[in-house]
Structure 1
Amino acid sequence: MAEDERKAKAAKRRAEEKAARARNKDNEDAFAGTSSRRDGGGRNSRANDDVGSFEKHTKGIGMKLLEKMGYKKGEGLGKGASGISRALETQLRPKNMGMGFNNFKENVNDPTRSSKREDDEGEASEDDMDRAREQSMWKKRNELRRQKREYKTAEELLAEEQENASSVQTTTNKLNIIDMRGAHATVVNANELHKARVVRAGEEDIMLPELQHNLKLVVDLAESDITKLDGKIRSEKDTQEILRREKIRLSKVAEAHDELAARTKSALALVEMCNTHGKACDTAEQFDALTQSWMEVVKQFPKEYYGHRLNRLALAHAAPYVRAMYKSWDLSKDPTLGVDILRPWRSLLSPELVPDEYKGVFEDDSYEDLLRDPMLSRLRPIISSKWDPTKPEDILNFVQAWSDVMPEALMREITHALVLPRLQRRVGEWEPTKERVALHVWFHPWLPMLHKNLKDLYPSIRQKFTVSLAEWEASDSSALTLLKPWQRVFEAKDWSSLMRRCVTPKLEDALAMLQINPSNQVLDPVRTVLKWESMLGPSAFITLLEQHFFRKWHAALHKWLTASNVDLDEVAQWYIGWKTVFSEELLSHERMRVQLNVALDMMNQAAAGEGVVMPNVAAPQPTAPLADERPVPHPMDESTMSLKEMIEEFANAHELEFIPSASGRRHDGLAVYVFGGVSVVVDTARESIRALIDGDWTPISLDQLLDRARAIKR
């Protein structure tokens, strides 16, 4: 039945194609007759219409153009008639046949083959199409356009199998294939394997081959379904596992959100309590309750407090009470007001005390904002106009009490912007000879906080010391009280220069008036000088004794030993008594021992009965000290003074100021000083002085500088 149906379809297709070819031929004849009439009937035969038959579409213009180019009927185209003499004719392709299907070739219009081709074309194309359709049935199915399924018999399959085996036999004779279908892999020839798979039609041991074939199809389909179902099951299991894990994750997220919601609810309850306390905060007890509430919030819910920046709300609660507390504050009566009650708020509002895990959450210092306006509004007028720096207790007590409570930036603003300018003005007004309170009493307490900033005042202070010591006498101990506290404040070179200019000359005068009298010795001038030992330093002090004491002392001893009635025991007691006057530090110095050994040598000469020789104390002694211990030149020798010290001495002698410029100006890398109102620079390298005159830095002498300073002063 399948074969009959297939033959009927093929016959039907052949009939349709023949009818189509007949219609095409009639159309061609009609076009050819029309062209013949236009051309005068010169193209009646089919052979003459081969070339230029396209004129049926071009109204005869094509043939005219060919004849103008030398074309003759019945000959080829081109020069020498070497081209084609007949036009190409397309062949109608059978219905539903693709390009190049089954090696089908389009033929040219050949009169000798045209009739045979037309007769055989239908049969050949029909058979090819049938075979192609049969083969395509076993290939990929067209799901969009389903066709009627055709089944093959076992004989047809075996015949095709045998045909395929014979076609590939020649190519598989030498091809070996690994057969892994059994329990063990075996190597077989491809031809033998092919033969082993062929089922012979005449074999009697195969029963019901059609059934076996259909069963194989059913098994393959079942296997395919099983594979698909297995893949789907695996996919569903994977999806189930993913969903299970996602469920666990979401459950944990939900639990975390529930816990966060509970914590937020509890934190909100505490914050609402703080808000209640903040609205009714008029007394110290109520403010303490507000403080405790906010401390509890930070203790129980630090993440919520720092994460939501509740410090701004806490600042809003505390600020009204703090402003009211300092509104009528009297610094002199209660300098520590608010220290204890505001100490806990630093941990609440200051970004410096935020835990490490919450660093950076506070954009500004809320604690500083809490204190700045209320305190500064009261401190600024008090410090600037009412405070007397000679009575620093109030401000000092305030600073010391708030040192570990107040923010560093606010404390620095109070000390540097308020206290420091007031101290500078007071130092400028200070007069050592008229003030009852010593400068160090109220100035030194500020050194730990303002040491670097107070250095600019030291030249002015030394200038005032120099002026005040101009009329001082060594017997007056007030100078020692005035200067001793400053020894560790000034730098060593500045202190040495001050001592050399102001103190050493006075001590020299005191020693010059000393009389060495063994019978009635007065030690008060010596003890007055010895009080300055620590102030001058061992080396400078021994130099003073060498030049102004030991010369007299050695002369008095020599005179006594050369007397006729000398008592050496009294001389020894006198010598021991003088040694007790000096300190152990002085006696241990090498240069001091040299001077005492001179006295011992004279005493030994007298005891031995030899003549006592007066030593030349200016000449080097046999036990001379080391190079770095040798006596220095006279303290007032100008060759040891720098140019700057000379100018400072010159200014002091004429009662003029010589201090660094308050603005800290520099010119050519040199510091600018003020000499009696004239701006000058001291070039130590060139040993020159330049003054700012009419906008130019001009070299100037000390006398010219003095005249200019006096003119400005007038």
Structure 2
Amino acid sequence: MVLTKTYCLANTAGVLVARLIGPVLQRWQPLWDPAMWLDVFVVLRNTLDDGSAMSPYVELVEDTVVPAVQALEWKTTDSERVRRFLAQWKDTLPPSAVQRILVEVVMPELTAEVESWDPWDAWQANCCHLLLRQWMPLAGPLLESLCVTVRRKLERALREWDDAGHALLSKSNLNLVAPWKALFGRASWEEFVDGIGVVWHLEQRLRSLRITPPKQNDDAFLEVIMKWAPLVRAEDMARLLEAEFFGRWRHALRHWLLATKPATREAVEWCNGWGRAFTPELREDERVHARLEAGIDMVNSAAQGLEI
């Protein structure tokens, strides 16, 4: 009986408060003065929130704060203001109210932005990525459907680019796709990379590399292959290097040691220079490390007059 009376009093209090402050909140501009009512609602939460899904406090927020935010005609250019409001109010609003604001207020604008996004528009290219990345901490799971749309657009754009005879592994394409890796999630990203054929194109570029000591490395190795390497699975990249690079690399080193007989220090530095050219992830790969160490061993054997 005591609990019932307590709930009824809290519920009645919530209704009365809503009637009192509801009209005032209609004139409130949450984006420009997010903290204006915050202290008041902190007190009301401590008084009216009983922890239930439909407590008097939840109903109060749904009837007052949420409509005030819904009344905003915000654009994505105001994203910082909306995020600041949610950041300040997040611990005071019920989770259901935060979710409702995200779904009913934020997502329609983000969806419109993604739907109108043109991957090849120089101004839009990074704006879309930056916009979604900014919203990831607050709206993470809700952004998955938008990332699907982005991925579809990227795949179509890159397919058209490749069909037109342009190099898929161009710098402009790298700048276009690389920022999305963190947003897609691992499984989706790997499917995307496989779908546009990045590994196949890397294989072709590796086959065309010129390894001619004492020249340190082919420019394409640093500017193309190692730039794209972090975007594919480390195991795929290590496999490609074993199949298409290290055999010719070892052959070139052996020919150089036998034909020119360079100074040991020069040959060791040549091997180490190639090692530094690899990404940190590849340098840590056991197969890559073993191949580079084998090159150093070959240099040491040649210096000792042993067969190589």
Please give the TM-score of this superposition, normalised by the length of structure 1: 0.36
Query: Compared with structure 1, are the counterparts of its residues 449 and 518 closer, same or farther at alpha carbon in structure 2 (3 Å cutoff)?
Result: same
Distance 1:562 1:520 in 2: 16
Q: How does 1:112-151 map to 2 (within 5 A)?
A: none
In the TM superposition, residue 598 of structure 1 has moved relative to its aligned partner by: 5.0
Q: Which residue of 2 aligns with 1:518?
A: 213
CA contact (8 A) 1:432 1:464 kept: yes
**Is 1:579 matched with 2:275?**
yes
**Is 1:408 matched with 2:102?**
no
Q: How does 1:37-436 map to 2 (within 5 A)?
A: 306-307=5-6, 309-352=8-51, 365-382=55-72, 386-389=73-76, 391-434=78-121, 435-436=124-125
Q: How does 1:459-498 map to 2 (within 5 A)?
A: 459-470=148-159, 471=161, 474=169, 476=171, 479=174, 482-487=177-182, 489-492=184-187, 494-498=188-192
Counting aligned pairs with the same residue, the percent is 26
CA contact (8 A) 2:118 2:125 kept: no
Distance 1:407 1:581 in 2: 51
Q: Which residue of 2 aligns with 1:189?
A: none
Distance 2:306 2:199 in 1: 39
Distance 2:285 2:252 in 1: 23
Distance 2:281 2:101 in 1: 46
In the TM superposition, residue 491 of structure 1 has moved relative to its aligned partner by: 3.7
In the TM superposition, residue 552 of structure 1 has moved relative to its aligned partner by: 3.7
Q: Which residue of 1 aligns with 2:292?
A: 596
Q: 5+ residue gaps in structure 2?
A: 162-166
**Is 1:499 matched with 2:193?**
yes
In the TM superposition, residue 306 of structure 1 has moved relative to its aligned partner by: 4.7
In the TM superposition, residue 513 of structure 1 has moved relative to its aligned partner by: 4.9
CA contact (8 A) 1:390 1:442 kept: no
**Is 1:455 matched with 2:144?**
yes
Larger helix proportion of the pair? 2
Partner SS for 1:333: coil
In the TM superposition, residue 543 of structure 1 has moved relative to its aligned partner by: 1.7
CA contact (8 A) 2:34 2:85 kept: yes
Partner SS for 1:309: helix
Q: Which residue of 2 aligns with 1:443?
A: 132
CA contact (8 A) 1:326 1:378 kept: yes
In the TM superposition, residue 464 of structure 1 has moved relative to its aligned partner by: 2.0
CA contact (8 A) 1:438 1:482 kept: no
In the TM superposition, residue 393 of structure 1 has moved relative to its aligned partner by: 1.6
Over aligned residues, Cα RMSD in angstroms? Answer: 3.6
Distance 1:323 1:597 in 2: 73
In the TM superposition, residue 574 of structure 1 has moved relative to its aligned partner by: 1.8
Query: Compared with structure 1, are the counterparts of its residues 498 and 307 closer, same or farther at alpha carbon in structure 2 (3 Å cutoff)?
Result: closer
Q: Which string of whole-angstrom CA distances, capped at 9 and with x for unpartnered residues, describes residues 176-231 of structure 1? A: xxxxxxxxxxxxxxxxxxxxxxxxxxxxxxxxxxxxxxxxxxxxxxxxxxxxxxxx
Partner SS for 2:28: coil
Distance 1:332 1:592 in 2: 53
In the TM superposition, residue 341 of structure 1 has moved relative to its aligned partner by: 1.8
CA contact (8 A) 2:268 2:296 kept: no
CA contact (8 A) 2:119 2:153 kept: yes
Partner SS for 1:404: coil
State how many pairs are aligned.
296
Query: Compared with structure 1, are the counterparts of its residues 547 and 390 closer, same or farther at alpha carbon in structure 2 (3 Å cutoff)?
Result: farther
In the TM superposition, residue 308 of structure 1 has moved relative to its aligned partner by: 8.1
Structure with larger RCO (C-alpha < 8 A, sep 6+): 2
Distance 1:609 1:366 in 2: 88
In the TM superposition, residue 496 of structure 1 has moved relative to its aligned partner by: 2.1
Distance 1:588 1:314 in 2: 64
Q: How does 1:9-48 map to 2 (within 5 A)?
A: none
Distance 1:410 1:584 in 2: 44
Query: Compared with structure 1, are the counterparts of its residues 437 and 511 closer, same or farther at alpha carbon in structure 2 (3 Å cutoff)?
Result: same
Distance 2:13 2:283 in 1: 70
Partner SS for 2:91: coil
Distance 2:300 2:59 in 1: 83
Distance 1:308 1:519 in 2: 84
Q: Which residue of 2 aligns with 1:140?
A: none
Larger strand proportion of the pair? 1
Distance 2:14 2:214 in 1: 84
Q: Which string of whole-angstrom CA distances, capped at 9 and with x for unpartnered residues, describes residues 536-566 of structure 1? A: 2331121222233324423422332332x42
Partner SS for 2:51: helix
Q: 5+ residue gaps in structure 1?
A: 1-302, 354-362, 613-714
Please give the TM-score of this superposition, normalised by the length of structure 2: 0.76
Distance 2:115 2:248 in 1: 44
Partner SS for 2:118: coil
CA contact (8 A) 2:49 2:58 kept: yes
Q: Which residue of 1 aligns with 2:236?
A: 540
Distance 2:301 2:10 in 1: 91
Q: How does 1:643-658 map to 2 (within 5 A)?
A: none
In the TM superposition, residue 345 of structure 1 has moved relative to its aligned partner by: 1.0
